[in-house]
């Protein structure tokens, strides 16, 4: 290979690297504090919109020890974007914002249909003991939320809901600052380890929020258990409190 061809290849390589870096350098952010939405535009803010990114969870998510969802965001991406989820920096608030290392896992929200048996209390056809019977009204379908691994930092065009998952340790009080689409979003957010018995009605994020969702997701299991106990409702349904199940479960 002569020197001219080698020089040309070097120039092309430099230009390619410049083009890759240029994807981010002119991106700027505006932030809406009410909606907790970061809007990313290119061209130093004079160009087109790149993405809207909204934090769906609390500014301070309280979670218990263990593997937990510490945040949920929704991204509306106007075009395919390489290395959109570039990095997240973590800072230990209890140690004067000392930077710390945390292994974060990205997951995306998907939905699955679940079939379950539906039951209804029938007090027009009472049992021998006078109790209402339980009638199997057939099968119904409900939509279940499912978190699936997102094994890339590239994002396609469109809307995607992303969850951040990590192993929460005892005493954690951590601020996380993402750099996404080439822009640092410092307005977000923290997560804090709190013992489960300290949760209250205002702490409905993180593991407690997941518990609420898991309770909803057990409808199918509960109704199928109900069928196993009472069959078609022709016998034994008088004791509606047995095994913690309610007559009005549907």
Does residue 1 fall inside a structural domain? no
pLDDT in tens, 125-176: 888 888 888 888 888 888 889 999 999 999 999 999 999 999 999 999 999 9
**Choice among 35-39, 71-75, 105-109, 246-250 with the minimum mean pLDDT:** 246-250
Does residue 9 fall inside a structural domain? no
Does residue 250 fall inside a structural domain? no
Does residue 10 fall inside a structural domain? no
Closest-CA residue to 199 (of 12, 68, 86, 81) = 68
Does residue 187 fall inside a structural domain? yes
Q: What is the pLDDT of residue 45?
A: 61
Does residue 209 fall inside a structural domain? yes
Q: What is the pLDDT of residue 211?
A: 42
pLDDT in tens, 5-22: 555 555 444 444 333 334
Does residue 19 fall inside a structural domain? no
Interatomic CA distance for residues 226 and 246, integer angstroms = 9
Domain membership of residue 98 as a residue range: 24-244
Does residue 3 fall inside a structural domain? no
Interatomic CA distance for residues 129 and 122, integer angstroms = 14
C-alpha 243 chain-centroid distance: 32
The answer to whether the CB of 146 falls within 8 A of the CB of 169 is no
Q: Please tell me the total count of domains within the chain.
A: 1
């Amino acid at each position: 290979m002569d020197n001219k061809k080698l020089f040309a290849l070097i120039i092309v390589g430099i230009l390619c690297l410049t083009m890759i870096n240029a994807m981010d350098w002119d991106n700027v952010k505006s932030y809406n504090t009410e909606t907790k939405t970061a809007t990313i535009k290119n061209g130093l803010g004079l160009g087109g919109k790149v993405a809207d990114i909204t934090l769906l969870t609390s500014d301070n998510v309280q979670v218990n020890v263990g593997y937990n969802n510490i945040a949920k965001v929704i991204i509306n991406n106007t075009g395919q974007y390489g290395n959109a989820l570039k990095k997240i920096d973590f800072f230990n608030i209890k140690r004067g914002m000392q930077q710390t290392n945390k292994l974060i896992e990205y997951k995306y929200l998907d939905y699955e249909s679940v079939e379950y048996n539906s039951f209804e209390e029938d007090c027009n056809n009472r049992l021998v003991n006078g109790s209402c019977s339980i009638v199997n009204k057939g099968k119904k379908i409900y939509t279940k939320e499912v978190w699936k691994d997102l094994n890339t930092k590239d994002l396609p065009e469109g809307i995607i809901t992303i969850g951040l998952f990590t192993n929460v340790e005892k005493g954690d009080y951590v601020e996380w600052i993402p750099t996404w689409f080439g822009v640092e979003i410092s307005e977000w957010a923290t997560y804090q380890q709190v013992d489960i018995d300290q949760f209250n009605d205002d702490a409905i994020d993180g593991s407690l929020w997941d518990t609420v969702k898991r309770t909803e997701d057990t409808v199918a299991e509960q109704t199928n258990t109900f069928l196993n106990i009472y069959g078609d409702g022709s016998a034994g349904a008088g004791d509606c409190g047995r095994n913690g199940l309610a007559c009005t479960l549907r």
